[in-house]
Amino acid sequence: MAAETAQALVSGSPEQRPRHVAIIMDGNGRWATERGWPRLVGHRRGAERVKQIVRACPDMGVNWLTVYAFSTENWKRSTEEVLGLMKIFRRYIQYEAQGMAAEGVRMRFIGGRERLDAKLQALMSSIEARTAGNTRLNLTVAINYGGRDEITRATARLAKKIASGEVTDPTEADFAACLDTAGQPDPDLVIRTSGETRTSNFLPWQAAYAEYEFTPTLWPDFTPDRLAEILDRFGLRDRRFGGV
């Protein structure tokens, strides 16, 4: 879909649109299985869909996009699927780096990196450095990410700051500064595809006041048109943040 079409589909003023959208990209394997194909075919189609959504977001008024690519629990999948996913991640980063830079996308990663292979870690660091000055869209990819794991690691970081005297009377802001997402705005809207209605350990701290949208659409079928429809509905919500 052309960018101008996507923009036209999102109604309401910019103030009514979510600045930060986070997506649990679910349903790749199911999409492939329903067609009699290997699950990895669905993951490859899902990666293509990410590119389309990334290109559409700025023209819809979305400045920050966070996508859940691989959770700390996904290591439980078959060795073949895990290795295939890691290969997809490497290829995506390797071949999208130039396009990201040209389109003004800043790319960052959250999650524990120590379990990822050295080549993937190097590619992640490289594209982060290469796109650090871009401002059109901030894309954050969660790989080996789990909300509880992030909170545990953040607690350890904050404890060290307290022990060193850097922090004496810790606040929520002090804790947030120790999260993987430090310096990033909290998501306004969290979308999960595939019909599941779980949050699956995704951004539990950051999404405390986010609006949620659960759609039956499998991720490979989640077009910019579908995103525009959800952004329209978001504009109709009354967000009071505990007020009246």
Q: How high is the pLDDT of residue 116?
A: 97
- Catalytic residue chosen out of the listed positions 59, 63, 74, 225: 74
Please report the sign of the dihedral spanned by the C-alpha atoms of residue 7, residue 11, residue 17, residue 22: negative
Distance (Å, whole) CA 113 – CA 146: 12
What's 126's domain CATH number? Answer: 3.40.1180.10
Q: Known catalytic residue: 169?
A: no
* Cβ neighbours for 152, distance < 8 A, ≥ 6 positions apart: none
| Structural domain contains residue 30 | yes
Q: How high is the pLDDT of residue 188?
A: 97
Q: How high is the pLDDT of residue 101?
A: 84
In the sheet with 105-110, reading across from the earlier edge strand, the strands are 105-110, 137-145, 64-71, 20-24, 189-192, 211-214
Tokens of 65: 């996009």
Distance (Å, whole) CA 78 – CA 238: 43
Distance (Å, whole) CA 39 – CA 121: 24
Distance of CA 153 to the CA centre of its chain: 19
| Structural domain contains residue 53 | yes
| Structural domain contains residue 3 | no
Distance of CA 38 to the CA centre of its chain: 24
Query: Which residues are documented as binding site for Mg(2+)?
Result: 26, 211
Q: Known catalytic residue: 63?
A: no
Structural domain count, the chain: 1
Q: How high is the pLDDT of residue 17?
A: 86
- Catalytic residue chosen out of the listed positions 26, 59, 180, 188: 26
Distance (Å, whole) CA 67 – CA 23: 5
* Cβ neighbours for 156, distance < 8 A, ≥ 6 positions apart: none
How many beta carbons lie within 10 A of that of residue 26, not counting itself? 24
Contact between 116 and 143 under an 8 Å Cβ cutoff? The reply is yes
Query: Which residues are documented as binding site for substrate?
Result: 27-31, 39, 43, 71-73, 75, 77, 192, 198-200
| Structural domain contains residue 12 | no
| Structural domain contains residue 28 | yes
Distance (Å, whole) CA 115 – CA 67: 19
Q: Element (H or E) spanning 151, and its range?
A: helix 147-164
Contact between 137 and 54 under an 8 Å Cβ cutoff? The reply is yes
Q: How high is the pLDDT of residue 2?
A: 43
| Structural domain contains residue 238 | no
Q: How high is the pLDDT of residue 71?
A: 98
| Structural domain contains residue 130 | yes
Per-residue pLDDT in tens (0 to 9) along the chain, 244 residues: 444 444 445 655 566 789 999 999 999 999 999 999 999 999 999 999 999 999 999 999 999 999 999 999 999 999 999 999 999 999 999 888 888 888 999 999 999 999 999 999 999 999 999 999 999 999 999 999 999 999 999 999 999 999 999 999 999 999 999 999 999 999 999 999 999 999 999 999 999 999 999 999 999 999 999 999 999 999 887 665 566 5
What is the longest distance spanned by two Cα atoms in the chain? Answer: 59
> What is this structure's pTM?
0.92
| Structural domain contains residue 174 | yes
Domain that holds residue 173: 17-188+202-229
